Amino acid sequence: MENSNLSLKDSIIKKIVIEQAVPMNVVVAVIDHQFSSVIEALSKYNVVEVARLGKYILRDSHIIRALKGMRTMKRIYLKTIDDEKVLLSRREDAKEKLVLTLDNIEYLEGRLSAEGVEKNNKLKAEGK
């Protein structure tokens, strides 16, 4: 079976199931828990170290790249909302997505270091 279409998570699960002969549901539960723990820790700290798997760092550059993408999506949602030619249901969807995007922008901006805030403010002023 070709592994190129599998996500990293699915590849890890498949490898463990085959090599360790552990039931898939057990492996999935452990991997899900591990990923959830890393995500939860990154929501509190900018660095998380997982034994034997390495250190995960949430860098300003990653946050700024995500913010740039979210600001682009914000502009698209606003344009969709204002376009009367777009179906009402699509405009309503855009409103819901805009609210989530604004929440995510606010959250990520709060995670930036002082230098990151400067870079982010400069990009915002440039419209990026």
Q: Of the candidates 118, 7, 120, which has an alpha carbon nearest to the alpha carbon of residue 62? A: 120
112 or 92, higher pLDDT: 92
pLDDT digits 0-9 by tens, 31-68: 888 888 887 887 788 788 888 778 878 788 888 999 99
Q: Of the candidates 70, 69, 67, which has an alpha carbon nearest to the alpha carbon of residue 59? A: 67
Mean pLDDT of 58-87: 92
10 or 52, higher pLDDT: 10
Count of beta carbons in the 10 Å neighbourhood of residue 103: 10
Query: What's the rounded Cα separation, in Å, for the pair 122 and 115?
Result: 11
Query: What's the rounded Cα separation, in Å, for the pair 56 and 59?
Result: 9
Residue matched to tokens 């929440």? 103
Q: Which residues pair with 33 in a beta bridge?
A: none
Answer for the pair 24, 13: CB distance below 8 angstroms, yes or no.
Answer: yes
Query: What pLDDT score was predicted for residue 4?
Result: 64
Q: Please tell me the pTM assigned to this model.
A: 0.60
Answer for the pair 112, 63: CB distance below 8 angstroms, yes or no.
Answer: yes
